[in-house]
Structure 1
Amino acid sequence: MLRTVNRVLIGVVGLVLLAVGGAVLAVGLGASPPSWWIHDSRHDVLLSTAERTRWRDDDWWWPVVIAVLAVLVLLALWWLVSVLRRRRLGEVLVDTGDGAGALLRGRALERVLAGEAGEVEGVTHAHVHLTGRRDAPETRVRLQLEPHVDPATALDRLTAEALTHARDSAALKALPTEVRLRAAKHKAERVS
């Protein structure tokens, strides 16, 4: 969801900036603008002195300007943080039973889980991605299956073997998993 909002927001902002910048450039190069456009000629300024000082004496003007700019800055910071936020889980908290706990590197668990998932019969490639919180991790598994493999059988073996071993070894109560299956495409080979 956030990825879609991010792409749409970047696309809309990019189109608006491209349209306004292109129109200003066209007017600056001598094109005649429409009557409703903000510039009249290539020597026109964006805001005249009268327009810039028109609301200066009103009591509501500066608080509104500052509030709008503050909201825009907060929205920009929220968007930047959401874009830069780490999508991958760095570590998993393992309950050792003594109350202290231990930390397991997320990448290590991903590699082991992908290796064990890749050993399932008929799986040509497995990719695992850990998300969630360190005390409640979730996994996304992508499996590439050979064309002759039954997807239900591969999914059952993945659940019974690899995911169960990962959940038990990390002492997790649950390990919610989203599995995406894809069939491998083989190129036609010439037989002689």
Structure 2
Amino acid sequence: MSRLRSGANRTALLCAAVALLGAGAALASATDGVRERLPAGWPRLGADRVWLDGRDLGRWRDQGWWTPLVIAALSVGVLLFLGWAVAQLRSGRVRELPLGQPDVTLSGAALAAAMAERARAIEGVADARVRLRGNSRRLRARITVVLLPDSSPETVLQMLARHTVAEARAATAPRTLTADVRLRVQSHKSRRLR
């Protein structure tokens, strides 16, 4: 996930949390049980407060500009939410990479499978999985490597960087390819005695 997308997600969640927390605190301060426990200097809403009575509602209805404004604001809000939801659904997976010639492309799934196969061929590796993310200019490979219990993580990581990642960078040039490697050790299967 890109930094911009991650930052936008965190900002949206923070704004939603602040709005919900503020609304919840305001509504809670209108109840008697909460009002009695609040410190003396804190603002409180009256227990008999009416948010919009009939007279205020009639006055707003007489104004001709507020209905289109509210509908436009809600429409913009819905469109922004739908755009954000579509951006989240697009997982950022690389489907095809155009290569130097017009009709020549490289499948993202094929590149990930080739990288996983090359990683599995390294001595000391029990299993490997590769997921490619990114866009047409910048790629990120998340490589999960399961090591055999007696293998050296340093050696495996060096071989992975020298061969698997270097070959993938050469295949996807001039794009940049960054690799995040996660190493795990294969667990010993315990035997049951009867």
Which TM-score band applies after superposition, normalised by the shorter structure?
A: 0.5 to 0.7
Structure 1 position 178, deviation (Å): 1.3
**Per-residue displacement from partner, 1:95-120 (whole Å, max 9, x unpaired)?**
25xxx462111111111111111111
- Is the helix fraction higher in 1 or 2? 2
Partners in 2 of 1:70 and 1:136 — Cα distance?
A: 34
Q: Residues 146, 95 of structure 1: CA spacing in aligned structure 2 closer, same or farther, 3 A cutoff?
A: same
In structure 2, which of residues 152, 156, 159 is the aligned counterpart of residue 157 of structure 1? 159
Q: Does 1:86 align with 2:91?
A: yes
Q: Residues 191, 3 of structure 1: CA spacing in aligned structure 2 closer, same or farther, 3 A cutoff?
A: farther
Maintained 8 Å contact 1:113/1:163: yes
Q: Does 1:95 align with 2:100?
A: yes
Structure 1 residue matching 2:60: 3-state secondary structure: coil
| Structure 1 unaligned residues grouped into runs of 5+ | 20-34, 39-46
Q: Residues 173, 127 of structure 1: CA spacing in aligned structure 2 closer, same or farther, 3 A cutoff?
A: same
TM-score where L is the length of structure 1: 0.66
Identity, in percent, stands at 35
Q: Does 1:71 align with 2:73?
A: no
Structure 2 residue matching 1:141: 3-state secondary structure: strand
In structure 1, what is the equivalent of residue 139 of structure 2? Answer: 137
Maintained 8 Å contact 2:139/2:175: no
TM-score where L is the length of structure 2: 0.65
In structure 1, which of residues 175, 178, 181 is the aligned counterpart of residue 177 of structure 2? 175
Structure 1 position 156, deviation (Å): 0.7
Paired AA for residue 179 in structure 1: V
Q: Residues 37, 180 of structure 1: CA spacing in aligned structure 2 closer, same or farther, 3 A cutoff?
A: farther
In structure 2, what is the equivalent of residue 62 of structure 1? Answer: 67
Q: Residues 58, 171 of structure 1: CA spacing in aligned structure 2 closer, same or farther, 3 A cutoff?
A: closer
